[in-house]
Amino acid sequence: MKVVLAGAGAFGQKHLDAMKLIGDIEVVSLVGRDLDATRAAAEKYGVGHVTTELAEAVAQPGVDAVILCTPTQMHAEQALLCMRAGKHVMVEIPLADSWADSQAVAELQQETGLVCMVGHTRRFNPSHQWVRQRITAGEFNIQQMDVQTFFFRRTNMNALGQPRSWTDHLLWHHAAHTVDLFRYQTGGEIVAANAVQGPIHPVLGIAMDMSIQLKSSTGAICTLSLSFNNDGPLGTFFRYIGDTGTYVARYDDLLDGKNNAIDVSQVDVSMNGIELQDREFFAAIREGREPNASVGQVLACYQTLHQLEQQLV
């Protein structure tokens, strides 16, 4: 399968690393804003074609699929471009930064029948898969999810410490992980959603702190705290409080409520959530089926984000 990757920055390289572990995948083109940096990534990963134009990359001979790891503000437009060119596409989270753009992508996917998957990686992390297996087996029911998404980003830098050309967003990017996961794990619809935010950063133009409350039709609740001001342990930590136990998921790792490690190494074929996400994308294309985290499955998450945004205006 011939693949184009757009956005070979910090997260794009996670996908490039993952695809090296998956058989029968050839990355034929890298797309990036900075041609020199993109050439350097292409040399590192053995990719023969480099361009600053996504349309040029998609037009390369035999391209089957595209993975978009570009700035949030470009996701929807680029996903539409890919599907109009007849290519399957994975859009890294978030699908878009507006409800209208999210709907437009979903509508074109329905028209074309192509695989359009969104990078809701938490669905694939072995830690969250382990919890879901207990839920589907009837052994665990969520009463509350308590989630902290904490970073220290008072300047506009990416995960590699490099300047970003765009501004990240707590609501449309980081909250999307939790809003979708809460729906997915509870199996219900979000029937109540509230949000407040802290001061707007004078340079970045975004809120650096945010608090969100959610309630599922199942009765479960979720409390989400987000910050770009946290000078301490970084990342996202999910505490599942249920009727038969408490579990804390930290990306691919899982602990019980007393900080004892739970072995999740046999949950799936890998301990790498990005690799598992990519495997699902390529398997869905080969098998002609809807993937887990398809645009249709995650669309309701973006409707909730839209509703929350209206409260923050």
The tens digit of pLDDT for each residue in 36-49 reads: 999 999 999 999 99
Residue 163 has what pLDDT? 66
Cβ distance 101 to 91 under 8 Å? no
CA 238 to chain centre: 15
Q: Kindly tell me if the per-residue pLDDT of 165 is higher than 70.
A: no
Cβ distance 151 to 10 under 8 Å? no
Residue 156 has what pLDDT? 67
Q: How many CB atoms lie within 10 A of CB 104?
A: 16
- For helices 295-312 and 176-186, the axis angle rounded to 10 degrees is 120
Q: Kindly tell me if the per-residue pLDDT of 134 is higher than 80.
A: yes
Residue 59 has what pLDDT? 98
CA pair distance 102, 124, nearest whole angstrom: 22
Domain spans, the chain: 2-119+274-292, 125-267
pTM: 0.94
Q: How confident is the model at residue 152 (pLDDT cuts 50, 70, 90)?
A: confident
Question: Out of 3.40.50.720, 3.40.30.10, 3.30.1360.120, 1.20.1250.20, which CATH number does the structure's domain 2-119+274-292 have?
Answer: 3.40.50.720
CA pair distance 260, 87, nearest whole angstrom: 45
- Annotation: CATH topology of 125-267: Dihydrodipicolinate Reductase; domain 2 (3.30.360)
